[in-house]
């Protein structure tokens, strides 16, 4: 099968499976310039300490190589990577738009739910089912081949292969940007043993960021240290989701009202102004999670947290991290009415919550 026919087949079957875009890229041969770039950029980023507490990104094999530095480190049989993108954009407000007083922000990707059932959905599971269906269909057409499906869980830096496969270019905010779809994209991959025809070159999309630096300028914590350079230890998404324990005090004021993740660098991106609205029943936004009231979220006990967020990406914060984040948002709100609850939390047996709530009380009293 020639390159063009394979791409047409992949595009057709990926769209049937529910994806907005798809592509395939060869795994760079060991020693090639692309292989060197893939390994060195990731290794340099980890060595600089930018991965923070995300130990899964620092895992090494028996020879000492970073497992995620190259697909062939963990999967020596890999010869190509199929990349699929699902659009999760919605017509709901942006985080930078005017919002109700004392409202929180939950990142757009974590709003997802099943449109018909009204219950939460986790994009990892949604995309994984679609990838497995796509693999099944491709196997029927192409015959058996070795493969593994991953959604954020495998030894693959997805955006690298999304770039190689022509899904988009890496924007200055480090997200994959597609000039037609924008950057509100979930990525899933199928690592395969399929040999790509030699006529299939890397389908690199041109960089269309130009001289724009809106994402870098808008980042409240200066996590974007330069074009396509991210210090995750300063990123609000990392701090509110991946970081365990206390969030550095110096960064708390800049977190603002973000309680789960952050959308600011995507909300200000000009390419997202024209991004199409998704019509995906498995990734529909749950209206209650758009600009939710801080009071409502803070009233949740652990059982209510579970009822609302079991099966949702929000669950990754854990209940303790969720309340820690809420304490910071309330402390940044300027609303004195939160003082009684924060004073109560300042006496909590969770030392991280108690310290964060004490900080929030002092912050409000200074306002």
DSSP letters, 129-164, are HHHHHHHHHHHHHH----EEEESSSSS--HHHHHHH
263 has catalytic annotation: no
- Distance, in Å, from the CA atom of 112 to the CA atom of 127, rounded to the nearest integer, reads 12
User: Is 286 in a helix, a strand, or coil?
Assistant: coil
- Distance, in Å, from the CA atom of 169 to the CA atom of 1, rounded to the nearest integer, reads 27
Residue 176 has phi, psi (to 5 degrees) of -75, 130
Residue 252 has phi, psi (to 5 degrees) of -60, -45
Q: Which of 44, 55, 97, 152 is catalytic?
A: 152
The secondary structure element, H or E, covering residue 126 is: helix 123-142
The secondary structure element, H or E, covering residue 46 is: helix 33-47
Angle of the 351-366 helix axis to the 318-332 helix axis, nearest 10: 10
Catalytic residues: 152
């Amino acid at each position: 099968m020639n390159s063009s026919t394979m791409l047409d087949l992949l595009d057709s079957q990926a769209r049937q499976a529910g994806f907005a875009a798809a592509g395939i890229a060869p795994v760079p041969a060991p020693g090639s310039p692309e292989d060197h770039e893939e390994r060195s950029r990731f290794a340099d980023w980890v060595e600089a300490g930018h991965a923070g507490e995300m130990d899964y990104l620092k895992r090494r094999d028996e020879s000492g190589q970073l497992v995620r530095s190259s697909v062939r480190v963990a999967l020596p049989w890999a010869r190509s990577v199929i990349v699929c993108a699902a659009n999760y954009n919605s017509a709901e407000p942006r985080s930078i738009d005017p919002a109700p007083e004392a409202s929180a922000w939950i990142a757009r990707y974590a709003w997802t739910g099943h449109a018909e059932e009204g219950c939460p959905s986790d994009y990892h599971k949604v995309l994984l089912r679609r990838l497995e269906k796509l693999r099944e269909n491709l196997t029927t057409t192409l015959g058996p081949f070795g493969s593994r499906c991953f959604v954020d869980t495998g030894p693959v830096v997805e955006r690298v292969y999304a770039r190689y496969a022509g899904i988009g270019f890496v924007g200055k905010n480090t997200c994959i940007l597609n000039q037609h779809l924008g950057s509100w994209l979930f990525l899933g991959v199928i690592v395969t043993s399929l040999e790509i025809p030699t006529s299939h070159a890397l389908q690199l999309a041109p960089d269309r960021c130009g001289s724009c630096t809106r994402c870098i300028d808008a980042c409240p914590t200066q996590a974007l240290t330069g074009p396509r350079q991210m210090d995750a230890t300063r990123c609000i998404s990392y701090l509110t989701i991946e970081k365990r324990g206390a969030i550095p005090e110096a960064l708390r004021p800049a977190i603002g009202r973000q309680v789960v993740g952050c959308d600011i660098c995507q909300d200000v991106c000009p390419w997202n102004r024209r991004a199409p609205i998704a019509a995906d029943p498995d990734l529909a936004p749950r209206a209650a999670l758009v600009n939710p009231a801080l009071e409502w979220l803070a009233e949740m006990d652990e059982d209510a947290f579970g009822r609302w967020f079991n099966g949702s990406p929000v669950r990754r914060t854990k209940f303790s991290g969720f309340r820690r984040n809420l304490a910071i948002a309330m402390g940044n709100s300027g609303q004195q009415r939160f003082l009684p609850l924060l004073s109560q939390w300042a006496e909590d047996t969770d030392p991280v919550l108690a310290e964060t709530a004490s900080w929030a009380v002092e912050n409000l009293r200074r306002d």
